[in-house]
Amino acid sequence: MSLQAGIVGLPNVGKSTLFNAVSSSAKAQASNYRFCTIEPNVGLVDVPDERLQKLAELVHPDRIVPTQIEIVDIAGLVRGASKGEGLGNKFLGNIREVDAIIHVIRCFEDENILREEGAINPVSDKEIIDTELQLKDLESVEKKLQRTEKMAKADPKMKAELEVLLRCKTHLEQGKSIRSLDLSKEERNAIADLFLLTEKPVLYVANVDEASMHTGNKYSEALVASVTGENAEVIIMNNSIEAQIAEMENKEDQQMFMEEYGMTEPALNRLIRMAYHLLNLNTYFTAGVQEVRAWTIGKGWKAPQAAGVIHTDFEKGFIKAEVISYEDYITYGSEAACRDAGKLRIEGKEYIVKDGDVMHFRFNV
């Protein structure tokens, strides 16, 4: 699965610094001027998962392969983007292509870093981007409304879709994002073709100064309060510190550096895990002497779908799945011991794969 989380925010809030820290395959230019990022930078990011390491300690494979997500660094947004200001439509088009949003917000003071919006105000910064995305969504909804109103006169089945669009229009006009609108699965399907920007799940990154990286500050507190009821997550971190940790190739140097700042792990690890779950993803594992590997699937996927992530032939020719829960595998120490203890299950096509399952597929093509 190739799912993307896009990093967005106003200019000079620390987006590219965060991308540089988080990406394992690309480095974005981080500079102190507007629109430093024009074309989106894309990086593949390993998802930290201690379960993978613990399985490897038992199996002793030739290699360990973590699962990954794509992180996209998108150009800084400015007020009026929905009307074409700055990079306008290009920026909004890039957001439309991602599956989730990582919204970086400045929660620190530094007179050496340019800021065009006046005094530091994370709530106002958040609202600037929210407003631009909402205005663009409102434009999309109104266009579809015009078509649907005509169709609903001749086709009663279109009335339900018309009602959903009218609810979305009212919600957006009130300055609210679609993700906070209580829509059923069927209702969301009715607007799926619009790829609405404010329907995407959001993780807010409060980029704080060094002194606030563990406790937060008045700015991050204001941000947290402002997203209540929005069904969004907030993580507090110092992007500059994270970038320094990521640049260290020596693990011992990393550990010593983190200890100086009272850290047990990079905040990036938490961010990546949060982004992964924000995308509504689960992980299952395969474990053998050649490799121990993590595989990404959607929550609620059935066994044949999960098998298809390895190879399409596995899904087409699916027969059965051998399944061991991660907890049982760790408790008994090997596949053979789990089998002997009756902890290896044989599951069929209707089995819904659980996060952490260790699996082996039987198939025939």
Which residues are known binding-site members?
A: 12-17
- Round to whole Å and give the CA distance between 360 and 338: 13
Picking from 145, 197, 192, the residue whose alpha carbon sits closest to that of residue 166 is 145
Task: For residue 55, report the phi and psi dihedrals to the nearest 5 degrees.
Answer: -65, -40
Q: Binding site for ATP, residues?
A: 12-17
The single residue listed with the structure tokens 């610094």 is 17
158 φ/ψ sector (left φ>0, alpha ψ -120 to 50, else beta): alpha
DSSP string for 167-191: HHHHHHHTT--GGGS---HHHHHHT
Q: Are 98 and 5 in contact (CB under 8 A)?
A: yes
Distance CA 208, CA 241 (A): 10
Where would I find the beta strands (DSSP E) of the chain? 4-8, 41-46, 63-65, 68-73, 100-107, 202-208, 233-237, 281-287, 291-298, 318-324, 345-347, 358-363
Asked if 173 and 139 touch (Cβ cutoff 8 Å), the reply is no
- Burial class (CB within 10 angstroms; exposed 0-12, middle 13-18, buried 19+) of 61: middle
- Is residue 106 within 8 Å of residue 86, measured between CB atoms? no
Return contacts of 224-230, CB within 8 angstroms, 24+ apart.
Answer: 226/122, 226/123, 226/126, 227/126, 229/180, 230/177, 230/179, 230/180, 230/202
Compute φ and ψ for 121, nearest 5 degrees.
-150, 90
**Which pair of structure tokens corresponds to residue 336?**
């053979």
Helix (H) or strand (E) run with residue 95 in it = helix 88-96
